[in-house]
Amino acid sequence: MTNKPQSQTSETKPNEEVDISTKLPIPIQEARIYLSNLRAEERLAWAYEQFDANFVLTTSFGIQSAVLLHMIHMLKGGSKIPVIWIDTGYLPAETYCYAEKLNNKFDLNLKVTQSAISPARMEALYGKLWETNSVEDIEKYHFLRKVEPLEKALNDLTVQCWASGVRGSQTDHRRSMNLIDPINGRLSLRPLLEWTQKDVFYYMQKNGLPQHPLFKKGYSTVGDWHSSSPEGNAAQGRNTRFKGLKQECGIHVQGTFGEGI
């Protein structure tokens, strides 16, 4: 399991319609079985070994983000791994402060990506898309502020495999995910896929990791300030986002805007 794929060439773009699973040293079904027998830290190490400079981690600096960031920090050579952060321009002040704290603590190779259109320009042209209670407007918001910026960052870094902290219990869609899946011409690794909230909590406690400031205020998940809320009787988990109208923003689904975002 030590073979590494060749670096991305200028003739092949990461998001082209190619079978990215051929970049693996074994068939993808065998890779999933192999990964299922590894700890989360070992899954990250495996992906880094396979893809080297074409491997990245994505983070939201959200409630549970410290776990994977700590694992990357502890990984031999992990300081070289790019960590992509999508700054929507609408994150809570607590998230920006938390991001600064974790970035300094773990000495991350942080790559911040943002929309080509500023928040002020977006609001002038399209209005406050999160206020209309329209799923179509929310999808447009997600595309402009999250999906498109991430795609650009992944292209710029010639990414073939990227890891994220998604867990199967978070949304209906994520329950159907595998530890590794092809998405839009790249491989998506989910080292924490089967982890529970208790697993996350105990890992953070064991390793003395700082909690997101909004955790103590009842937030189990946090995104943008205008569309996140603490848990209550009416909503739990990802349903606290965007008034429960959307669970997924499109980053973790196959296809382009209009196809499942």
CA dist 108 and 82 (Å) reads 8
CA dist 31 and 140 (Å) reads 35
Can you give the residue ranges of every domain in the chain?
Answer: 20-244
DSSP strand E in 82-240: where? Answer: 82-86, 109-113, 161-163, 180-183, 186-189
Radius of gyration of the chain (CA): 18
Q: Which of 45, 147, 249, 251 is catalytic?
A: 249
249 is catalytic: yes
Closest listed residue to residue 138, CA positions, set 254, 259, 243:
243
**CATH T-level fold of 20-244:** Rossmann fold (3.40.50)
Tens digit of each residue's pLDDT, the chain (261 residues): 444 444 333 333 444 446 788 888 899 999 999 999 999 999 999 999 999 999 999 999 999 999 999 999 999 999 999 999 999 999 999 999 999 999 999 999 999 999 999 999 999 999 999 999 898 999 999 999 999 999 999 999 999 999 999 888 766 666 778 999 998 889 999 999 999 989 999 999 999 999 999 999 988 888 899 988 886 555 555 555 566 655 445 454 444 332 221
Would the pTM of this model clear 0.75, i.e. be above it?
yes
